[in-house]
Amino acid sequence: MRYLHTPFKHCWRFFTSIKLAIVLIAVIAAVSIVGTVIEPAHGRPEHNIGILSSLVGAWAAPYLYQALDAMGFMDNMYRSWWFITLLLLFALNLLICSLDRLPRVLKIIRTSPSPLPASRFATDPRKKELLLAGSPEQAVEQVAATMRRAGFFPTRTPGPEAGEYQLVAQRGGYSRLGSYLIHLSILIILAGALVGELFGFRAGVDIPEGSATDVVYTRYGEEIPLGFTVRCDNFQVSFYDQTDIPRAYESTLTVIEEGGAGTSRVIDVNTPLKHRGITFYQSSYGLVPNAIEHSVFIFRITPVDGQPVEKQFRFGDHFAIPGTDLVALIDDFSPALGMDRDGNLVTYAQQMNNPSVLLLFFTRDGEWYDSQWLMQRRPDSWRLRDGHTVEFVDLWGMQYTGLQVKKDPGIWIVYTGFMMLCIGLGVAFWVSHIRVWVRVQAAGSRRVKVTFCGTTNNNPPGLLRLLEKMAAVAKQPAAARP
């Protein structure tokens, strides 16, 4: 960096500091933990003050709360200017550290190994020696063939001593770039996360059956327009037999564009709806308050000697039972009807665990005939005393579907970064830059001494096994080599 002016040089050195990277990582991790524990206030700070009181004491909690609120912890901390600045500083630190060290690494990769002095061969603890019959020239060809089989492309050079040859080669130099690929992938992941945070959203919305919406709401209360309308046409939940444990729940959604064209899709927990880069996930469900008068009761009526007929009515309606002189009145409803210990009928939950409707039956002359609770999950409750069947199919409009809504334009950038990260980790930890030197020198009449040694930036035991294998192969006769 000699060519740089002093102020810029100092700034460059500051951002190449490993200590700076450690401090930034620690700060980002710490504030992320706080941002995860602290919930959005929404005008109700008592919960967060209670958490802070358990950490720093009741006297300091309000002051710490005010400080955290000013820093954006009670809003969306991850979009605050200072948190984004921390990420940018970390990215800049990582980038400059990589650029500062990359030229030296590239020089190491591009530079061919030079012959070693005899003292280096003598002191190398991993050296492997053997004696071969023949001339030095024959031994050189024999060893070179062995090295080529091991993935090296040796260069023959005269050794520093008379009558000596050296074969030098290297492989896996690109493995030194694995760490830089990891650094680049981290930068790409950060970029994708920032794109998703700044230009995407995570929100939710509850849509009653038959209703529609063109906006969703973040956890911070922000209203986000969708640019199109989503309507819930139907919601259905099924349970495991004889339990109130949901087995599956699904919604029929229709997406309506501005021109009126719509497409419908059934979604469940594992099958979301995707439209224009926005994904709708099935998240929850529940009862719509005070919706009974606007909901539609659906019955399937089957006379003893007739065909089933499906009918729809509202709460308080009268309807005739086909094939009979009976008239039914929808008198009461329970979302979850059961019996207590005394045998009394009670509503035991405010979810549609066992939807039930009470029908009062009269003759066409207005005389009282009977009353009966029809339970949606109890087919034995559908049969009337004269053999006719009134099946309670559904109560449409009584439930809402809870959707999680997500838009993340940076998700594919993040995926790309993770794939590069996996490749970089594989290159950095499973590939080694190996340099091998082989010294060939005469050792008497028709005898040649061959010495193998090498260096590696990773996995020294693997280098030792490689040298042993090459020495063993080189010692074999040409016809017996693999």
**pLDDT beyond 60 at 482:** no
Q: What integer is the mean pLDDT of 396-425?
A: 95
Mean pLDDT of the chain: 88
Instruction: Give me the sheet containing 223-239, strands edge to edge.
Output: 262-267, 246-256, 223-239, 212-218, 201-208, 399-407, 278-287, 273-275
Tell me, what's the pLDDT at 328?
94
Percent of the chain at pLDDT > 70 equals 94
For 405, the token pair is 């809504």
**Is the Cβ–Cβ distance between 475 and 134 less than 8 Å?**
no
- The distance in angstroms from the start CA to the end CA of the chain is 51
Task: Grade residue 481 by pLDDT with cuts at 50, 70 and 90.
Answer: low
Per-residue pLDDT tens over the stretch 40-79:
655 566 667 777 777 777 777 777 777 777 776 666 777 7
* Residue in this structure with the two tokens 């958490």, named with its chain if needed: 51
* Residue in this structure with the two tokens 């005389």, named with its chain if needed: 367
Domains 112-172+432-480 and 197-289+400-418 share a fold: no
Tell me, what's the pLDDT at 222?
86
For 477, the token pair is 């006769």
* Residue in this structure with the two tokens 């989503």, named with its chain if needed: 230
- The residues near 276 (Cβ < 8 Å, ≥ 6 apart) are 227, 228
477 CB-side CA count, 13 A: 2
Domain covering 112-172+432-480, topology: TATA-Binding Protein (3.30.310)
pTM score, whole prediction = 0.75
- The residues near 13 (Cβ < 8 Å, ≥ 6 apart) are 1
**Is the Cβ–Cβ distance between 283 and 204 less than 8 Å?**
yes
Determine what percent of the chain falls in helix, strand and coil, rounding each to the nearest 5. Answer: 35, 35, 30
Adjacent-strand bridge partners of 118: none
Q: Residue 434 in 3-state DSSP?
A: strand
For 379, the token pair is 């087919």
Instruction: Give me the sheet containing 434-442, strands edge to edge.
Output: 128-133, 447-456, 434-442, 164-171, 155-158
For 277, the token pair is 């880069």
Separation CA 477–CA 482 (nearest Å): 10
Domain spans in the chain, listed from the N-terminal domain onward: 6-105, 112-172+432-480, 197-289+400-418, 292-395
- The residues near 444 (Cβ < 8 Å, ≥ 6 apart) are none
Separation CA 428–CA 422 (nearest Å): 10
Of the CATH numbers 3.30.360, 2.60.98, 3.30.110, 2.30.30, which one belongs to the domain with range 197-289+400-418?
A: 2.60.98
* Residue in this structure with the two tokens 């400059």, named with its chain if needed: 96
For 158, the token pair is 């005269």
